[in-house]
A and B are shown apart, each in its own frame.
Chain A
Amino acid sequence: MSTSERDHERGDQRERTSHGSFGEYGGQYVPEAVMPALQELEDAYERYVLENEDGFMDEFRERLRDFGGRPTPLQRADRLSERYGREIYLKREDLVHGGAHKLNNALGQVLLAKYMGKERIVAETGAGQHGTATAMAAAHLDVPCEIYMGRTDVNRQRPNVYRMRMNGAQVNPVDAGSGTLKEAINETMRDWSTTVETSHYVIGSVVGPHPFPAMVRDFQAVISDEAREQLLESAGRLPDTVIACAGGGSNTMGAFDAFIPDADVDLVAVEAGGSSLEIDEGDGIAPNSATLSTGSDGVLHGAMTKLLQSDDGQIMESHSVSAGLDYAGVGPELSHLVETGRVRPVNVDDETALEAFHRLSTLEGIIPALESSHALGYLERAAGPAAKTSNEQHAQEAAEEGLGDLVVVNVSGRGDKDLETVLEETEARDLAAAPDVEVFDS
């Protein structure tokens, strides 16, 4: 099926309008200087992505295959299946070139920028996975590239900073605020509003002004397109539940998109519960990044969506042990899907995610990104041994949530980048699933 046919089929579900809104969410809230660039991008998106003009999508898919290593496997996880008493399948986005789903979008956008005749790429990055993917795609397609990254994230994601530099990108640390994704986005917006005539801003998630949320979703939809087909082939039926972690929401939308019309498939977005769901209004700090679960409507970074904000409208500093989920906003389409009840938002805390990180590493020989560990942590909470036996609340939750017999979990990326954080955080806690990490101290 062509992209435009697929798009047509799903069009009703999305309630998309010409202004790029998803119900009451979305829109274009940006400085005037970049509005013409958004119109230019909207036009390019419609022509190249939706209509496959000049064979754009054909080239994109070919490069995803040959450079990106797609399709990724949908692997039946034997020991997880045994542990949870149901069929667990892992969509292995950690096997995409670069180690995360981020390449799908970065490659699509850098290629689109080339088709549009743009001379330079700017991008923001949180955990560094998007920056890495963008730097790789820019090197692959021979376009100069500059990446903004919060200082805190530079410090906690050094391997990715090195990788970006290796691929020839310039990495600019951002010192403002808490030095995480939100500040990096602000700084990239500023660069873009200065260089908008020659630069393309590769936004890293399904966030930002229209057409970014729709376009990034379309580039990431390859995840669920493949998973749906692979599962029909191997299991002969659709899954009962698809689970994906949600920060900005690009792997989430990618994992859900093809299943949205399948009303019987439960779609679960797992957010970062951080250390607590309580918010300290006085300090303007949310010790979590659970925007869909606890946020309220507002405008941030170009779109109307759900946000972590104070009563006065100031955006909160968020927190997650996973740099990739540490963001006070979320994609507008996800806000809409949650609002309409199609997607169920849940959250797990830092500790649950760390446990899940170690569990998958030990049981399946896959070291997952801390982002993906949140999705796996939810699986444990809803269907693990504790849920079945000791914890009444969780057992009840699992029963109510009814994950079903066939579950797909999107492993959005691999965890090599997170090892330093994991060692540090593991040492500070008493985690049942963790190996002895003291050996790394010397």
Chain B
Amino acid sequence: MSDDRDDSSDRPAVDSEIEAAIYENHPALIAYITAGDPSLEDTKAYVEALDRGGADLIELGLPFSEPIAEGPTIQGAINRALAAGTTPAGFFDLVDGLETDAPLLVMTYYNMLLQFGAEADVRPFVERAADAGISGVIVPDLPAEEAEPLCAACDEFGLDVVFIVAPTTEGDRLETIMSRASGFVYVQARLGTTGARADVSSATHDSLERLEGHSDVPKAVGFGVSKGDHAAEIVEAGADGVIVGSALVDIVAAHGSDGDAPAAADLEEKARELKAGAERAAADADATDGEQERTPEPEHP
């Protein structure tokens, strides 16, 4: 909150709610959960808990039966949500009723967008998402090469399209993606699928370095983040935001059917831990910068 970037005069005016939320709350916590896991009513309580816990953006997964970019944790959540009868219509009804400070993104697979309304057209989905107050979309199986119809629809309705940059993304493709990116760039910390890991991948540092100078769009890192210390490490590496999914889904899964209140409390606490980790790293970086300015390294004889 105390970051000085939001009154920086050399930054272009931001008309994206997502970018604004990241700049204003820098470094930002971006929290993912799967809608409908274990039910849409629970999801409402969980989203509000994450919002209270300090999540600056909330990514809601609209479940698709073939989630090829997800690991076992989120696939499990998707299976539970589908078994509970989660549909796109139910998803949007949920979003209609949400009141959060954090802007919302929808994360789903391309076929779900294509089948909403008229066959093989993404526009009705984007229009409905805009109506529900959603600020952006993430589609993990839609590379930049195939994204033109989605970008056009999102431009029309004022939504951001968040693109993913993988450790393998380089050269012309990186340029193309960065030139189209809006909201934030999702920096995939490692190859493979989503899932909480014990450590932060070293590929994170390389990836953030590769993105230097390409675009002003904020960079957020995800894939494998589960602890406050990870969040700190990612912010230290230069990220504007930290994306956490599987670690939150694990909390939802662990509570099973014990009612939404304990799960919500744990989610809120986890969000606080992650946000605190990110802010600690940012504060340390500020302090180090200040110190270095005041006391230059002593010269050795």
Contact = CB atoms under 8 A, between A and B. Distances in A.
Interface of A: 19, 24, 27-37, 39, 176-177, 182, 186, 189-190, 193-197, 284, 296-302, 304, 307, 309, 311-315
Residue among B68, B69, B115 with the highest chain A CB neighbour number at 10 A: B68
A328 B193 CA distance: 23
Interface string B107-126: 00111101110011000000
Given A32-B169, A33-B167, 12 more contacts: A27-B146, A32-B140, A34-B168, A35-B143, A36-B173, A39-B173, A190-B68, A196-B168, A298-B111, A298-B114, A299-B114, A314-B64
Interface in B140-157: 140-143, 145-146
A184 B71 CA distance: 14
B45 interface: no
Contact of B141 (A29, A190, A196, A311): A29
A313 B112 contact: yes
Given A35-B173, A314-B64, A298 B168 contact: no
A377 to B, nearest CB: 30
Q: Which 8 A-B pairs have the closest CB atoms?
A: A313-B115, A194-B192, A33-B166, A32-B164, A31-B69, A314-B65, A189-B68, A299-B111
Contacts of B65: 177, 284, 314-315
B79 to A, nearest CB: 8
Contact of A297 (B75, B116, B119, B165): B119
A80 to B, nearest CB: 40
A402 B71 CA distance: 50
Contacts of A24: 120
B170 interface: yes
A151 B87 CA distance: 28
A309 B68 contact: no
Residue among A176, A193, A314, A315 with the highest chain B CB neighbour number at 10 A: A314
5 contacts: A31-B140, A33-B166, A298-B111, A299-B110, A313-B115
A29 B143 contact: yes
Q: Categorize the interface residue count of chain B.
A: 35 or more
Residue among A27, A197, A312, A314 with the highest chain B CB neighbour number at 10 A: A312
Contact of A32 (B112, B165, B192): B165
A174 to B, nearest CB: 11
A392 to B, nearest CB: 36
- Determine the main DSSP class of B at the interface with A: loop
A24 to B, nearest CB: 8
A296 B121 CA distance: 13
A284 B87 CA distance: 12
A204 B164 CA distance: 28
Nearest to B85: A282
A36 B170 contact: yes
B166 A186 contact: no
A186 B79 CA distance: 14
Contacts of A189: 68
B163 A313 contact: no
B120 A297 contact: yes
A118 to B, nearest CB: 14
A173 B170 CA distance: 34
Contacts of B145: 19, 28, 35
B88 interface: yes
A32 B189 CA distance: 12
B164 to A, nearest CB: 4
A312 B119 contact: no
A177 B75 CA distance: 10
B82 interface: yes
B64 A35 contact: no
B168 A301 contact: no
A33 B75 contact: no
B66 interface: yes
Interface in B174-208: 177, 188, 191-193
Contacts of B142: 29
Given A31-B141, A32-B165, A32-B166, A193 B115 contact: no
Contact of A29 (B64, B75, B116, B146): B146
A195 B192 CA distance: 7
A246 B118 CA distance: 28
B164 A194 contact: no
Contact of A313 (B79, B111, B164, B170): B111
Contacts of A39: 173
B66 A301 contact: yes
Contacts of B163: 32
Given A33-B188, A311-B115, A313-B114, A298 B120 contact: yes
Contacts of A33: 166-169, 188, 191-192
A186 B191 contact: no
Contacts of B112: 312-313
Interface in B15-46: none
A37 B69 contact: no
A212 to B, nearest CB: 15
Contact of A37 (B66, B168, B177): B168
